């Protein structure tokens, strides 16, 4: 189990900055393409369908302009993709903030409980992070990936 903890969840190749996007569907299309990179365990359609199915259960907005769409799939390791929008999407968030940061996560079915705890801890940490805006504005995919990966993998799981 320890090897999963050290497996990078977010890598620079799965971080993208977009100036503009038309809709939530476009966001999920982009996240799906990013999550598909570097893996062959699940198809693009499986990823997209699972993300959309989870979103239909309830909005994955966690606050402060951040959404955490996620899906449980038959994969061996969790993986994440980060989409940062220059102009956020207004999706009727409770705090009235436009959503600028979408962190899509695929979670292995077999470790559902362990990774659900990880995401819960991530939610608490990310909302308290003061340097988040500075890191994102850097536009540096390596720096952003490392920052989010550290927040994800340093959870007590």
Helix (H, G, I), strand (E, B) or coil at 124: helix
Query: Tens place of pLDDT for every residue, the chain, 157 residues?
Result: 344 446 789 999 999 998 878 788 999 999 999 999 988 999 999 999 999 999 898 888 888 888 999 999 999 889 999 999 988 888 777 777 888 899 999 999 887 777 777 788 888 778 777 788 888 888 899 999 998 888 888 754 4
pLDDT at position 41 is 94
pLDDT score, position 48: 96
By 3-state DSSP, what share of the chain in percent is helix, strand and coil, each rounded to 5? 45, 20, 30
- Helical H segments across the chain, by residue range: 2-6, 24-36, 44-57, 112-128, 132-137, 141-153
Residue corresponding to tokens 């503009």: 20
- pLDDT at position 63: 81
Enter the CATH code of domain 11-153.
Answer: 3.40.930.10
């Amino acid at each position: 189990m320890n090897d999963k903890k050290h497996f990078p969840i977010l890598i620079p190749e799965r971080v993208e900055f977009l100036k503009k996007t038309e809709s939530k569907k476009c966001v999920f299309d982009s996240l799906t393409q990013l999550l598909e990179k570097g893996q062959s365990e699940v198809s693009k359609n499986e990823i997209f369908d699972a993300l959309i199915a989870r979103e239909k259960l309830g909005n994955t907005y966690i606050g402060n302009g951040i959404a955490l769409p996620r899906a449980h799939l038959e994969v061996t390791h969790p993986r994440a993709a980060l989409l940062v929008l220059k102009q956020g999407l207004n999706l009727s968030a409770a705090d009235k903030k436009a959503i600028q940061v979408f962190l899509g996560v695929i979670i292995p079915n077999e470790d559902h409980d362990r990774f659900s705890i990880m995401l819960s801890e991530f939610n608490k940490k990310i909302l308290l992070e003061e340097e988040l805006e500075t890191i994102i504005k850097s536009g540096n995919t390596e720096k952003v990936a490392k920052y989010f990966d550290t927040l994800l993998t340093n959870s007590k799981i």
